[in-house]
Structure 1
């Protein structure tokens, strides 16, 4: 299994059942949506988190999943 897939799976498993249902619903909307829907989901997730940059340690690298 790819390392990124394994990391994402571990994050998914850590969610509560209600959070998993919400994640699946949003992931399906993203997968089945057009570019505008996908952009809206990306924008909403960024706005909801309020994250503009993640400090991953002394080297201040970017997150491999969200690019921030």
Structure 2
């Protein structure tokens, strides 16, 4: 398993069961062509209001 895959898996395992189900549904929608990856990424960005600037604490998903 490569590092990026391990980081995603670590983040996934930190989710509760409802969040894991929602994540799996979204991934399945992308993989089966019901939703484009760009659309899913855009929706996630809108929810997160992603800020790529410097932060004082480590990321909960990847630890960086």
Alignment TM-score > 0.5, same fold:
yes
- Root-mean-square deviation (CA, aligned residues, Å) is 2.1
Which has the bigger relative contact order, CA under 8 A and spacing at least 6? Answer: 2
Q: Structure 2 length normalisation: TM-score?
A: 0.72
Matched residue count: 56
1:26 aligns with 2:26: yes
Structure 2 unaligned residues grouped into runs of 5+: 57-64
Query: Which portions of structure 1, spanning 4 or more consecutive aligned residues, are displaced by more than 6 angstroms?
Result: none
Match of 2:43 in 1: 44
Q: Structure 1 length normalisation: TM-score?
A: 0.68
Q: Distance in 1 between matches of 2:33 and 2:51?
A: 25
